[in-house]
Structure 1
Amino acid sequence: MRYLILLTPSKNWIEGVVLHNQPYMPEHAVYVQSGYNEGKVIMAGPFAGSVGGAVVIDVEKEEDAIQFAENDPAVKSDVFCYQINKWDFKMSKYENINPNFNQEYIDYKHKVQKDLGII
Structure 2
Amino acid sequence: MANRHRGEVEAVLGGRRFTLCLTLGALAELEAAFAADNLPALCARLAEGAPSTRDLIRILAAGIRGGGTALTDAEVAALPAAGELEACMRAAVALLAATFGGGEDAANP
TM over 0.5: no
- For normalisation by structure 1, the TM-score amounts to 0.29
Which structure dedicates a bigger proportion of its chain to helix?
Answer: 2
Q: Which has the larger radius of gyration?
A: 1
Which structure dedicates a bigger proportion of its chain to strand?
Answer: 1
- For normalisation by structure 2, the TM-score amounts to 0.31
